[in-house]
Amino acid sequence: MRIAVVGGGVIGLACAWRLAGDGHAVMLFDGAREAREASWAAAGMLAPHHEATADDAVWRLGTASLARWPAFAAALGADLDVSFSGGLLPLITAADQPVIDAKQRFLTAKGWASTWLDRHELSQREPALHAAGALLVPGGRVDPRRLTKALRHACAARHVDLRYGEAVSEILRGGLVAGDSSSPEKKSGTEHRCDLTVLANGAWTPALAQLAGIALEGEPVKGQLLRFDVADGTLRHFIHCHHAYLVPRAGAGVVVGSTMVWSGFDKTPDDDAIAELAAQARRLLPALRDAPISETWTGLRPRLRTGMPVLQRVRDDLIIATGHFRNGILLTPITADAIAELAGGAACGVDVSAYRL
Ligand SMILES: Cc1cc2nc3c(=O)[nH]c(=O)nc-3n(C[C@H](O)[C@H](O)[C@H](O)COP(=O)(O)OP(=O)(O)OC[C@H]3O[C@@H](n4cnc5c(N)ncnc54)[C@H](O)[C@@H]3O)c2cc1C
């Protein structure tokens, strides 16, 4: 089949790569020359358990994807800066204890091992963390910028026709219209025929779906992040709690996030949020006290009204793969497999019908 993928973030790239691996002729369109949206902005935690409170469809998809991550990373065969050593849920105040206890009960009931580390054990595993103890929860982390780069190379190696700088303006029956987003003359666009289109353009998917007559309600959720410039090894695991999250990145310090702001497509940074996140991070990790903040940025999480992703063949010639909200990096491998199944490939092993409009 001839397949067009819209969106060059991790979701579009992974779908394109997977579909090309199944023998399809794939084109990928992204309006930007360098995709720097949610996938570029993400912290990179592979953490289905940290925010889960129940055995719901999002948690099930997340755990299925986490299980696929090691093979996915190995298949990309690149220097991703990926680790599966788990994440910590620290005990900072007395109010954290019931949350930690409930998390451990939930994971145990579902057959996932988690380990309580008392102050002494924690000081061996994560010496710089200032906490009375922590629950070590299965999970991982990856540098999302390296992941995006690796997926782009992997797509090129499978002869995906990568069309960055070409924004899609219309979804047709059996095709789409795309134009050079930097050139006013070419903006009107060129028609490209295909058997199947995959809409995977993150927070912008609802608008494009609407042009195809499909009602998809969603609104981006802005997140503020920053990065401290510290030596590798300052932090060994990612830390996730309601105060802030901290994620180590090889050769790139420690990333700290994040806020949740509903302000449409506005990406303006928030100086107060940066100061508050930095203060929280320094309380958790006193080693950051004198470390410079080397970068601050914001990103738009693609959230649909239900808070769930949609992975669905909505028409013979149209698939939607969006709404990954806070977990798109984690959900990249399972999404690629699910979309390959919807395109007629092998069964992906999860019930894709749970992720419909
Ligand atoms: C602050 C923050 C922290 C996060 N942390 C994590 C985390 O720790 N772990 C995790 O798993 N997830 C995290 N996420 C979520 C994750 O980043 C997203 O769910 C995921 O990146 C979504 O990927 P995507 O490819 O769907 O969208 P995007 O990466 O946003 O890509 C969409 C692409 O579509 C392109 N596009 C838009 N419109 C058009 C058009 N008309 N034509 C052509 N191209 C178009 C854009 O240029 C863009 O490149 C975080 C997100 C944010 C913002």
Q: Which of 26, 23, 22 is nearest to 198 (CA)?
A: 26
The half-sphere exposure of 67 on its side-chain side, counting CA atoms within 13 A, is 11
Q: Would you kindly state where each structural domain of the chain is located, as residue ranges? A: 2-44+146-218+306-354, 87-137+221-301
39 CA to centre of ligand 1 in angstroms: 4
How many A from CA of 11 to the centre of ligand 1?
8
DSSP state of 213: T
* More confident: 185 or 258: 258
Atom 51 (ligand 1) nearest CA: 42
CATH value of 87-137+221-301 in 3.40.30.10, 3.40.50.360, 3.40.50.150, 3.30.9.10: 3.30.9.10
Residue nearest to atom 50 of ligand 1 (CA): 42
pLDDT tens digits for range 239-248? 998 879 999 9
Q: Once rounded to an integer, what is the mean pLDDT over residues 47-65?
A: 93
Q: Work out the pLDDT band at 78, boundaries 50, 70, 90.
A: confident
pLDDT value of residue 243 = 79
Please tell me the predicted confidence (pLDDT) of residue 121: 98
Residue 171: phi and psi, rounded to 5, are -110, 120
Whose CA is closest to atom 44 on ligand 1? 30
Determine the distance separating the centroid of ligand 1 and the alpha carbon of 98, expressed in angstroms.
Answer: 33
Please compute the mean of the pLDDT values over residues 88-100 and round it to a whole number.
95
Cβ 115 vs Cβ 19: under 8 Å = no
pLDDT for position 278: 97
Q: Find the angle CA(334)-CA(339)-CA(345) to the nearest 5 degrees.
A: 105
Residue 183 has pLDDT above 70, yes or no: no
With contact defined as beta carbons under 8 Å apart, do 295 and 5 qualify? no
Predicted pLDDT of residue 6: 98
pTM over 0.85: yes
Preceding amide of 83 cis, omega within 30:
no
CA of 149 to the centre of ligand 1 (A): 14
Q: What is residue 311's predicted lDDT score, i.e. its pLDDT?
A: 98
Which residues lie with the beta carbon below 6 Å from any ligand 1 atom? 6-12, 29-32, 35, 37-39, 41-45, 167-168, 200-204, 208, 223, 225, 257-258, 299-302, 322, 324-330
The class that CATH gives domain 2-44+146-218+306-354 is: alpha beta
CA of 302 to the centre of ligand 1 (A): 6
Would the pLDDT of 251 be above 80? yes
pLDDT tens for 199-231 read 999 999 999 999 999 999 999 999 999 999 999
What integer pLDDT is reported at residue 184 of this predicted model?
Answer: 60
- Residue 279 has a CB neighbour count (10 Å cut-off) of 12
Using the mean position of ligand 1's atoms as its centre, give its distance from the Cα of residue 326 in Å: 9
Is the pLDDT reported for residue 280 higher than 80? yes
- Which strands form 254-257's sheet, in the order they lie side by side? 115-118, 133-137, 87-90, 238-240, 245-248, 254-257, 221-228, 293-301
- Which position has the higher pLDDT, 35 or 166? 166
Largest CA distance in the chain: 66
How far apart CA 246 and CA 291 sit, in angstroms, is 14
Instruction: Note whether 63 and 47 are within 8 A (CB).
Output: no
Percent of the chain's residues with pLDDT above 70? 99
